Structure 1
Amino acid sequence: MNHLPCSCAYLTGVFLITLISGCATFVSSHEEETTATGQQCAQPSEAVVLQGRYRRARPGPTADQTNLLLQIIELDIPTPPVESVGSALKYLLLKSGFQLCNTSIELNQLLDLPVPAVHLKLGPMALRDALETLSGPAWSLEVDQSQRRICFSKRDPLMNRPVTGEQP
Structure 2
Amino acid sequence: MNTAPEAEQRDLMAQIIDVSIPPNMHPSVQDAMQYVLSRSGYTLCPPSTVHVNILYTRPLPSAQYKLGPMSLRNTLQVLAGPAWQVKVNEVRRDVCFVLRPGYQLPETTKPAALDQPRYPARPHP
TM range (shorter): 0.7 to 0.9
Deviation, structure 1 residue 79: 1.8
Q: Which string of whole-angstrom CA distances, capped at 9 and with x for unpartnered residues, describes residues 26-69 of structure 1?
A: xxxxxxxxxxxxxxxxxxxxxxx1xxxxxxxx112111001001
Supply the distance in 2 between the matched residues of 1:146 and 1:115 (Cα, whole angstroms): 29
Structure 2, unmatched stretches of 5+, are 105-125
Compare the two structures and name the one with the higher helix fraction.
2
Supply the distance in 2 between the matched residues of 1:93 and 1:121 (Cα, whole angstroms): 15
Superposition pairs for residues 1-168 of structure 1, below 5 Å? Answer: 49=1, 58-104=2-48, 105-157=50-102
Deviation, structure 1 residue 158: 5.8
Compare the two structures and name the one with the higher strand fraction.
1
Aligned residues of 1:82 and 1:88 also touching (Cα < 8 A)? no
Aligned residues of 2:83 and 2:103 also touching (Cα < 8 A)? no
Supply the distance in 1 between the matched residues of 2:72 and 2:45 (Cα, whole angstroms): 16
What TM-score does the superposition give when structure 1 sets the normalisation length?
0.59
- Percent sequence identity over matched residues? 40
Q: Which string of whole-angstrom CA distances, capped at 9 and with x for unpartnered residues, describes residues 126-160 of structure 1?
A: 1011000000000011000000000001111269x
Q: Give the secondary structure class of the aligned counterpart of 2:31.
A: helix
Q: Which of 1 and 2 has higher RCO (CA within 8 Å, sep 6+)?
A: 2
Supply the distance in 2 between the matched residues of 1:135 and 1:80 (Cα, whole angstroms): 21
Supply the distance in 1 between the matched residues of 2:89 and 2:24 (Cα, whole angstroms): 30
Structure 1, unmatched stretches of 5+, are 1-48, 50-57, 160-168
Q: How many residues of Structure 1 are paired with residues of Structure 2 in the alignment?
A: 103
- Which protein is bigger by CA-based radius of gyration? 1
Supply the distance in 2 between the matched residues of 1:73 and 1:125 (Cα, whole angstroms): 6
Segments of 4+ moved more than 4 angstroms: none
Supply the distance in 1 between the matched residues of 2:101 and 2:71 (Cα, whole angstroms): 25
What TM-score does the superposition give when structure 2 sets the normalisation length?
0.78
- Opposite residue 156 of structure 1, the aligned amino acid is P
Supply the distance in 1 between the matched residues of 2:21 and 2:47 (Cα, whole angstroms): 22
Q: Which string of whole-angstrom CA distances, capped at 9 and with x for unpartnered residues, describes residues 79-111 of structure 1?
A: 222420000000000011000012122211100
Aligned residues of 1:85 and 1:111 also touching (Cα < 8 A)? yes
Structure 1 residues 100 and 61, CA, compared in 2 at 3 Å: closer, same or farther?
Answer: same
